[in-house]
Structure 1
Amino acid sequence: MKYLVMVQGSQADYEAMSGRGSAESPAWDKDQLTTMFAHMNAINEELTAKGEMLDGQGLAAPSTTRFVTVDGEGGPVVTDGPYAETKEVLAGYWLLDCASLDRVTEIAAQVARCPAPPGAPEYAVVIRPVDERGPSQD
């Protein structure tokens, strides 16, 4: 079964990883970043070796976000980020093909153990099964 495993973050977290800490997220130093990336790379290597990794990406800062809706005539309405009202955003994901929900939960727990500076916010790792049923055939 396929699962989307998602990690969350905020604009403050991206800034903290660039050395600009705040009350919401303390600044990361080079060693802390190196340790975090090593942890994530080890997970990626394990998932790839086991044939469970379909895709995985870290996403750019929320400040680069663009929302597109349509107006009354169907024309695009574009709003650029960041958004003060948005606390948490998708920071990265893995698309995995795992034998069971138990297995993907083990992986999510491994992701959740990612090293971070003291006082850094903690976010839940979100698991969503991919619905592969396709359109209903009534």
Structure 2
Amino acid sequence: MKYLVMIQGNQAAHEAMTGKPSPGYPAWNEQDMQAMFSHMGALNDDLAESGELVDGNGLAEPAETRHVLAGKDGKPVITDGPYGETKEVLAGYWVLDCASLERVTEIAARAAACPVPEGTLCSPIVIRPIMEAPEA
């Protein structure tokens, strides 16, 4: 079964990674970034080797977000993000093909163990099964 594993984040977390701290998000240094890249790289390598990795990427900062909605007049309403009321946004994801929910949960737990600077607020990792189209 395929699963979407989503790492949540926010603008403050992204800014901390670029050296701009805020409450709950201390500034990352080069060693912190290398530790994160090493951890996630090893996880990605293991998933590719096991054949479970379908796709995965980190996403650009929330400030580069664009929202498109259908307007009442049929024209799109386009707004830039982030929004003050939005606490968590998608920061990165994997599409995994795993034998069970238990297996994908093990993988998400490994991702959640990624090293971060001390004092950093934890961001959740969300697992969603991907629906398969019914056979014709």
Cα distance in 2, alignment partners of residues 27 and 106 from structure 1: 29
Alignment of 1:49-128 (within 5 A): 49-128=49-128
- In the TM superposition, residue 24 of structure 1 has moved relative to its aligned partner by 3.3
TM-score by length of 1: 0.95
Q: Structure 1 stretches of 5 or more lacking a match?
A: none
What SS does the aligned partner of 2:127 have?
strand
Identify the residue that residue 6 of structure 2 maps to in structure 1.
6
1:132 and 1:9 mapped to 2: Cα distance?
27
Runs of at least 4 residues off by over 2 Å: none
Q: CA RMSD in A?
A: 1.3
Would you say 1:20 and 2:38 are equivalent positions? no
Alignment of 1:38-49 (within 5 A): 38-49=38-49
SS of the residue 1:118 aligns to = coil
Q: Secondary structure at the match of 2:93?
A: strand
Q: Normalising by structure 2, what TM-score?
A: 0.96
Paired-residue identity, %: 57
Cα distance in 2 for partners of 1:18, 1:4 equals: 27
Runs of 5+ consecutive residues of structure 2 not aligned to the other structure: none
Shift of 1:82: 1.7
Give 3-state SS (helix, strand or coil) of 1:74's partner. coil
* Superposition deviation, residue 96 in structure 1: 0.4
